[in-house]
Amino acid sequence: MNKLISKIQIAFKLALTSLRLNILRTSLTVLGIVVGVTSIVVVFSAGDGLRSLILGEVESYGTNIIQTEVKTPSESASFAVGEITSLKVSDMEAIDRLNNVKYSYAATLGQDRIKYGSESQKVFIFGVSAPYQYIDSATNLVEGTFFSEADDRGQAQVAVLGSKIKETLFGDQTAVGEFVSLGGKKFRVVGVLEERGGSFGFMDFNDMAFIPINTLHKKMLGIDYAMYFIHELYNTDIADETAEEIRYLLRERHDIDNPDKDDFRVSTMEEMIDILNTVTGAITFLLLAIVLISLLVGGVGIMNIMYVTVSERTPEIGLRKALGAKKGDITWQFLIEAVLITFWGWLLGVIFGLVLAYIFALLANRFGLNWYFTFPFQGVLISLLFSLGCGFLFGIRPAQQASRLDPITALRKED
């Protein structure tokens, strides 16, 4: 055992010396591995960051939430506001009367220009029911109040502004009580939201104007259909039963007798989190598969370089064998050399990957996303195993070729 360890140590030193003497070639050889490992680290770190971002937004509503959303009859169906016709505000009001439902709000998204004085910008208009303020825990006001249920029922032209809109239109001036033009209609500002991270899809909450959903429907869009409902429950333990009650109620209201023809989808918070984890996991796996191909390409490059190295060092191999080196000694030397190359590439790739992932997280936060840098332990481990595996897999053939050289023929090549 000690003899084997000694031989490996000698082979390691010889391989390290060879790599040092050919530093330029070594650097070029590891480039493919570096790129592959860097990509793996970034993919896993970004995947973890994306998962945390999305789950953070979902969980900001709390765990006692059920979502009811529009379900189109086919994948080709459009999600344009004018074609969303399955969920009415009256459906939400009916659901709100169920025993385990504490609050409900309906939501529809629009887009138009908002103006105040000489300032103007295009904004997303988020039409919601008044209970939105109780369900979304991140809804905090720095000025005024949120609009009331009476405002919603009366289709009042009142608005709550996101922090960026308020800053653009009013600067340091108080916005509450002022009138803005929204879609050509006069709205009184009743509140200003505290700046918050996160987004609705890829839309910044701070760049949104919130108005009563009935005002948006009746006075701006001319519709009576919502994009989705959110329901807060009294008792989370019976969330599944409540979700089934909602399905039964909507099928009855929509005259649906076949669940396969549902024009809505009801999801508990647990189901939504499972779906998000599945989607982000699938994306990460797909990107990982693509990146691993680049590592294999890097491994082929290492194999070709090792063949060239064996050819160039044929006299050295012949001399070592003439002095008593065994086939195994030569094999170990070149195999360790190949593995060292991939290890060096892995180490550089991890460093570059972590730096890039950290920079990406900083930039994402600069744009208002709650994107946290996470150390991708799984990605680092997978890239290490795959890199060393590539070194062994693509180094074994050149190493065996070197060990089979005839010492006399090899020494003659020096001439």
Instruction: Based on the fold, state whether residues 12 and 116 are members of the same structural domain.
Output: no
Domain boundary residue, one of 215, 231, 262: 262
pLDDT tens digits, residue range 310-346?
776 677 767 777 777 777 777 777 788 788 888 888 9
Q: Which among 128, 122, 85 is positioned nearest to 109, based on CA atoms?
A: 128
Instruction: Based on the fold, state whether residues 87 and 222 are members of the same structural domain.
Output: yes
Instruction: Based on the fold, state whether residues 22 and 125 are members of the same structural domain.
Output: no
The span from the CA of 60 to the CA of 57, in Å, is 5
Instruction: Based on the fold, state whether residues 33 and 79 are members of the same structural domain.
Output: no
For residue 142, give the 3-state DSSP assignment. strand
Q: How far is CA 320 from the centre of its chain?
A: 54
Residue 62 lies in a domain: no
Residue 237 lies in a domain: yes
Distances (CA, A) of 354 to 36, 293, 308, 380, 390: 13, 21, 33, 10, 22
Domain boundary residue, one of 228, 262, 296: 262
pLDDT at 214 over 90: yes
Q: Which of 22-36, 198-212, 225-239 is the most confident on average?
A: 225-239
Residue 65 lies in a domain: no
Instruction: Based on the fold, state whether residues 252 and 123 are members of the same structural domain.
Output: yes
DSSP class of residue 236? G
Are 165 and 122 a contacting pair, CB within 8 Å?
Answer: no
pLDDT tens digits, residue range 164-185?
999 999 988 999 999 999 988 9
The span from the CA of 160 to the CA of 171, in Å, is 16
Query: What is the domain range of residue 175?
Result: 72-262
pTM equals 0.65
Residue with tokens 């006399």: 408
pLDDT at 81 over 60: no
Are 138 and 196 a contacting pair, CB within 8 Å?
Answer: yes
Mean pLDDT of 200-208: 72
